[in-house]
Structure 1
Amino acid sequence: MGTFVKIVPYNADWPRLYFETRDRLEALLGDIAEGIEHVGSTAVPGLAAKPYIDMDVVLKHSTQMEDGRARMQAAGLEPRGSRHGDGVFAFMLRDPLPGLRVYLCPPNSLTHQNRLRFRDILRQNPSIANHYATLKMALAEKYKNDCDAYTRAKSDFIRETLNTDTSPASAP
């Protein structure tokens, strides 16, 4: 049996938890990190999400990945590997909820850039965010015991959204 999928209503504490965690990650990785961003659904005000704060840490140099991984493990985060072959390495802290997922990203990571674009599109377009929330709730019910299938099932919507330039900043 896979991992249980649970979507919870937006929690106004998520931004504060991001900033607190960012400060800890800066202390842990600051000399090798170019930047730390809040990504994923918890980064979109009002959006229901799985109760995990998703964060991307962009490294200054790809040669620092092993050092970053060692520091993350030493800090107690569970290594989850590089699941998409894109050089991004995932870590997780499951308890207490909300949990934490941190992704170490090489410089110029397309995965990281797409996460920022998708986050910003959802922040700027409430109708798209609402549609995404509805989709996530339906998929969470359909794949309630398979988090990987749930994530795969969202990918068409995410890809479509990224390929449709809907952000006000890009309008003529």
Structure 2
Amino acid sequence: MIQRVAVTPWQTDRVPSTHDIATFSDDEPPEGESPWVVAPVVEPIEIVEPDPSWPDAFETIASRVRSALGARALLVEHVGSTSVPGLPAKPVIDVDLIVASSHVEAAWAPALESVGFVLTVREPWWHEHRMMKLAAPRAHLHVFSPDAPEPWKHRIFRDHLTRDADDRARYARVKREAASHATHGAETMMEYNARKQAVIREIYERAFRAAGVAP
């Protein structure tokens, strides 16, 4: 099941422009800065067949987030490959969490840490993104503020792949190829993601046009 969430008044005041949504930012960390709160480790990257239990796993994770944060969880959404029916994926649930101010970690991080989430990535220079990991169910929780364009990209990409069988198959192929190269080359997850980037950007262009947000 794909979550569909109505736009509420607070969202319409702080949504990014269509230009921001359709524009990619490849900013590197400032000199001397690292995004890693917990250093990454090299491990095999496994792409598995679609699992019908992934939506239920998302609901479990979302329930934990909402219970921990209450009204501070403005939006909790299933994104990434496990949110697309019929798409092979890493068995890790990607979740976007919108809070009032992602850079004010004291307002949300301790509550999530108390229920098992571990702050792993902090990127103030990239839309104030934070990422937390959960061990079971395995999940990556991406934390943004309402004005960040990235969650909008994620939803557009998810919905496009759900509708477009050709792009879904194309993305599945590149994921398997990238995972094979990355695993045999003992590469990190960031290197795996870089191998997919060109095809992802091509698919995004078509998704943006279909959604009417092309720059």
Cα distance, 1:28–1:65 mapped onto 2, change above 3 Å: same
Match of 1:15? 55
TM-score scaled by structure 2?
A: 0.71
Contact 1:57 1:102 in 2 (8 A): yes
**How far did residue 158 of structure 1 move?**
1.9
Which position in structure 2 is the counterpart of 1:125?
Answer: 164
Deviations 1:39-68 (A, max 9, x none): 000000011100101100111344644321
Runs of 4+ residues deviating >6 angstroms: none
Amino acid at match of 1:17: A
Which of the pair is proportionally richer in helix? 1
Which one-letter code corresponds to 2:181 in the other structure? K
Alpha-carbon distance in 2 for matches of 1:167, 1:21: 32
CA distance in 2: counterparts of 1:165 and 1:63, whole angstroms: 29
The structure with the greater share of residues assigned to strand is 1
Structure 2 residue 195 is matched with structure 1 residue 153 = yes
Judge conservation of contact 1:32–1:64 (CA < 8 Å) in 2. Answer: no
SS of structure 2 residue aligned to 1:82: strand
Alpha-carbon contact 1:53-1:101 (below 8 Å) kept: yes
The answer for the alignment partner of 2:134 in structure 1 is 93
1:81 aligns with 2:111: no
Q: Which secondary structure state, in structure 1, belongs to the residue aligned with residue 142 of structure 2? A: strand
Residue ranges of structure 2 left out of the alignment (5+ in a row): 1-40
> Structure 1 vs Structure 2: percent identity of aligned residues?
26
Of the three residues 11, 17, 25, the one matched with 2:65 is 25
Structure 1: segments with no counterpart, 5+ residues: none
Distance 1:3 1:107 in 2: 33
Q: TM-score, normalised by structure 1?
A: 0.87
State the Cα distance separating 1:74 from its structure 2 match. Answer: 2.2
Deviates more, 1:138-147 or 1:45-54: 138-147
Q: CA RMSD in A?
A: 2.0
State how far apart, in whole Å, the 2-side matches of 1:11 and 1:74 are.
28
